Amino acid sequence: MNNSTGLISKLSTGNGLNYINIGLMLISLVAAYILPFEVFLFSYAILGPLHYLTEISWLEKKNYFIKSKNDIWVFVILVLCITIGMFNSHSRLNSFIASFLFSGFIYGLIILFIDKLGLKLILILFVFLLSVIFHFNNYPNAPFLLFAIWLPTIIHVYFFTGGFILFGALKSKSISGIISFILFIGCGIICFLYIPENFGFTVTEYGKKAYSYFKLLNTTLYALFGFGEMSTSDDALYYMPKAIAIMRFIAFAYTYHYLNWFSKTTVIKWNQISKQRLTVIIVLWVCSILLYVLSYKVGFYALFLLSMLHVFFEFPLNHFTFIGIGKELKAISKRR
């Protein structure tokens, strides 16, 4: 009994958690190589909703890392506009999705430093108008790709996750933390360096149908990495080696993003909530799984609002993290 208690205590420490996360990275990478499409679909449908619910709950307890909780309503309004625009092609809101995301991202930085409500609202209006003037909403302009497609997806799950890992390692001055950060970056790079032909299982017809809602992410990343042009109507993304490499990267990033969150229970203690709140979270999670079981399309549509809310609510924390990284690196350079 004492031995098991000691083991749990060691694993709860910073170093123990880093080693756990190294293992989770490797598991995510191997799974992404074997079943890239299905692993992503499973992670997004099963782990994703539980992550949204528990992180939003934790952020609320932390006051969203901002000075006034009232600022969060701007995020809610922006997400509602995006959701209406996404699922109603006839709505004028559909033409400003990149501007809404850009405005929300910058607003997350504004509210960290500015207290006056009037000034905050003037600044976000200025940011929104700036994005419209510079044609952020024109596909496939670089600003549109960056904010409308990549920010709430691959940037959120890979680059921001990497930032959290690096900040934690620098703040705790942990060698194992730095190793886990390097391995995390390495896992992403390996997806493109090691591209075996005919490796892993072929995507199922169900997988193709379910993944149709995410294809734009793949085709835009395919072009970004210099692999050429590929249309969302082209089934080549399901069998071309370089297209599969993109999918492995996406599957790894999403799967580890969720697993990393659940591994941090003993550190940030997101699970220390009332029984009533825990019950609500579990009930909502089970309902979300049932929706995905009923139809992946139904689940995707029903959970889109919640998914986007958790992305927006995390923006202040993202800025806080990278500001913290800058401060830690500056402190290290001063000591040297």
Question: Which amino acid would we find at residue 229?
Answer: E
d(CA 150, CA 224): 11
Query: Residue 155 has which token pair?
Result: 């940037």
Alpha-carbon distance 153 to 218, whole Å?
Answer: 11
Structure-block tokens of residue 311: 């992305």
Task: Give residue-wise pLDDT tens across range 226-254.
Answer: 998 888 777 889 999 999 999 999 999 99
Residue 280 φ then ψ, to 5°: -60, -45
State the pLDDT confidence band at 13, using cuts at 50, 70 and 90: low
> What is the per-residue pLDDT for 8?
33
Q: Is the predicted pLDDT of residue 336 greater than 90, yes or no?
A: no
The 3-state DSSP class for residue 135 equals: coil
Residue among 196, 209, 182, 183 nearest 245 (CA): 196
Nearest residue to 241 via CA among 233, 255, 232, 230: 230
Residue 10, pLDDT > 90, answer no
> For residue 202, what are the contacts with CB-CB under 8 A and spacing of at least 6?
239
199-236 pLDDT tens trace: 778 899 999 999 999 999 999 999 999 998 888 777 88
Beta carbons of 84 and 91 less than 8 angstroms apart: yes
How far is Cα 58 from Cα 268, in angstroms, rounded to an integer? 9
* CA–CA gap between residue 25 and residue 47 (Å, rounded): 15
Q: How far is CA 135 from CA 23, 90, 94, 143, 274, in A?
A: 43, 20, 14, 8, 46
Length of the chain: 336
pLDDT at 108: 98
Place of tokens 């890392």: 65
Q: What is the mean pLDDT of the chain?
A: 93
Range with the poorest average pLDDT among 9-23, 47-61, 115-129, 275-289: 9-23
* 252-262 pLDDT, tens digit each: 999 999 999 99
Q: Residues 49-70: pLDDT tens digits?
A: 999 999 999 999 999 999 999 9
The string of pLDDT tens digits covering residues 279-329 is 999 999 999 999 999 999 999 999 999 999 999 999 999 999 999 999 999
pLDDT at 9 over 50: no
Average pLDDT value for residue range 141-166: 97
Predicted confidence (pLDDT) per residue in 264-275, tens digit = 988 888 999 999
Contact between residue 38 and residue 293 where contact means Cβ atoms under 8 Å apart: no
Question: Nearest CA to 103 among 118, 83, 87, 81?
Answer: 81
Using DSSP, state whether 167 is helix, strand or coil: helix
